[in-house]
Amino acid sequence: MSAAKEPLPLLQIEEAVKRFPMPQGILDRLAGRPPRAVNALNGVNLAVRRGETVGIVGESGCGKSTLARCLVRLHELDDGRIRFDGKDVAEYRGAERRAFNRRVQMIFQDPYSSLNPRMRVRQILGEALSVHRVRPPAEIPGRIAELLELVRLPQDAADRFPHEFSGGQRQRIGIARALAVEPDVLVADELVSALDVSVQAQVVNLLLQLQEELHLTVVFVAHDLRLVRHISHRVAVMYLGKVIEVGPTEALFTAPRHPYTKALLDAAPELDPTRRTRVAAARGELPSPLDLPQGCLFNTRCPHAFDRCFAERPILTPRGPEHRAACHLTDFGLPQADPASVAAVAAPAPLSL
């Protein structure tokens, strides 16, 4: 896609903010302390084009699942907006809202709790079809048969209950349910992380095939870097509720431009036993989302942090074709021009025994 006449992105997330207030104890209230909140999303910017797969990666607590839930409006944003087809989704009402709900579908992580155990597969799929009135009632049985074939499940699956299926098969039912209403966008939150490795591959293969067949746009949220690399056209890396780097998959994985992305990639164990390292890639742990660091969110763990990182929060700036990173250093891997400006941050790693 050329930058010159870029079509409008299908989904556009602008400065999305989501906070979850914490319950406040009576002592805090009496003392007049302000209520605290978990800062789940702290100004997320991301665009998703029609037909592409965007991977969202990050560690637990980075806000990736919250973002996925905001995309399908399971949560409403506190600030910022999400545009779908150019229009703010918060403004959708009535029939428009229903159409949005149909066009953006979510597949959940846990294939055990996301399907109603008391409903047969026929009812699970039929409910989606009748709620959105995508097919007249007479055509529903035929459509159910079609959907089962689409996700490679036997036809007799329709009359069985979710507990009669394995985890991988259940995830196929979840995919069929999402596809039943012919959506434009699939939001998959940790689609395969509950499954065994050999079964993961089956579901990933199915998703890749379906995307080609049905020209789906996919937002693939996962913590597994190898999987995201395999499946995505573009990848966004999140840290403490912000996208800190976004770019084409290959560029981001081979030449990361944010120290956190680099640490994340280095920490993921290599599949090649001849290429081992003995030094941990990242030091420290994620700060509490209740008290965000001043300045750059990664400054508590960054080996390259200098005084500006503690004063000013960097924004996403261009690093290459479609590649942006939120870091004050443009070439953090290279020696600094002015070492005096780099604060002494080479604190001993916790593992140097």
Partner 1 sequence: MSAALDTGSAPALSVRDLSTTFQTPRGPVTAVDAVSFDVMPGEVLGLVGESGSGKSVTLRSLMRLVHAPGTVSGAVSWKGRDLVAMSAPELRKVRGGEIAMIFQEPTSALNPVLTVGLQIEENLKAHTSLDRSARRKRAIELLDLVGIPAAASRLDDYPHQFSGGMRQRVMIAIALASDPKLLLADEPTTALDVTIQDQILKLILDLRDRFAMSVVLVTHDLGVVAATCDRMAVMYAGRIVESGPVVDLFREPHHAYTRGLLGSVPRGGAERTQLLSIEGTPPSLAAIPPGCAFNPRCSFATEVCRRDRPALAAYAPGRFVACHHHTEVAAAGTAVAA
Residues making contact with partner 1 (CB under 8 A): 59-60, 166, 168-169, 196-202, 204-205, 208-209, 223, 225-227, 229-231, 233, 249-250, 253, 263-264, 266-274, 276, 278-283, 285-286, 350-351, 353
Q: In terms of C-beta density within 10 A (0-12 exposed, 13-18 middle, 19 or more buried), how is residue 136 classed?
A: exposed
Tell me the closest approach of the beta carbon of residue 86 to partner 1, in angstroms.
28
Please say which residue, 268 or 343, places its beta carbon nearer to partner 1.
268
Identify the CA nearest to 241 among candidates 305, 310, 313.
313
Q: Are the CB atoms for 216 and 285 separated by under 8 Å?
A: no
SS3 14: strand
Minimum Å gap between C-beta 277 and partner 1 is 8
Min dist. Cβ of residue 230 to partner 1 (A): 3
Q: Minimum CB separation from partner 1 for residue 345, in Å?
A: 15
Least distance from partner 1 to the Cβ atom of residue 310, Å: 20
Closest approach, Cβ 207 to partner 1, in A, equals 10
Closer CB to partner 1, 250 or 312, in the complex? 250
Nearest CB to partner 1, comparing residues 139 and 212: 212
Q: What's the CA gap between 276 and 313, in Å, rounded?
A: 34
For 249-254, the CB contacts below 8 A with 24+ separation are: 249/55, 251/320, 251/321, 251/323, 252/323, 253/225, 253/229
Contacts of 307 (CB under 8 A, 6+ apart): 341, 343
Residue nearer to partner 1 on the CB measure, 141 or 287: 287
Distance CA 83, CA 27 (A): 41
Give 50 or 230: the residue with its C-beta nearer to partner 1.
230
Q: Are 177 and 128 in contact (CB under 8 A)?
A: yes
- Under a CB-based contact definition with an 8 Å cutoff, are residues 162 and 121 in contact? yes
Residue 321: CA count within 13 A, CB half-sphere: 8
Residue 12 or 232 having the CB closest to partner 1: 232
CB of 96 to partner 1, least distance (A): 33
Q: Which is nearer to partner 1, 132 or 283 (CB)?
A: 283
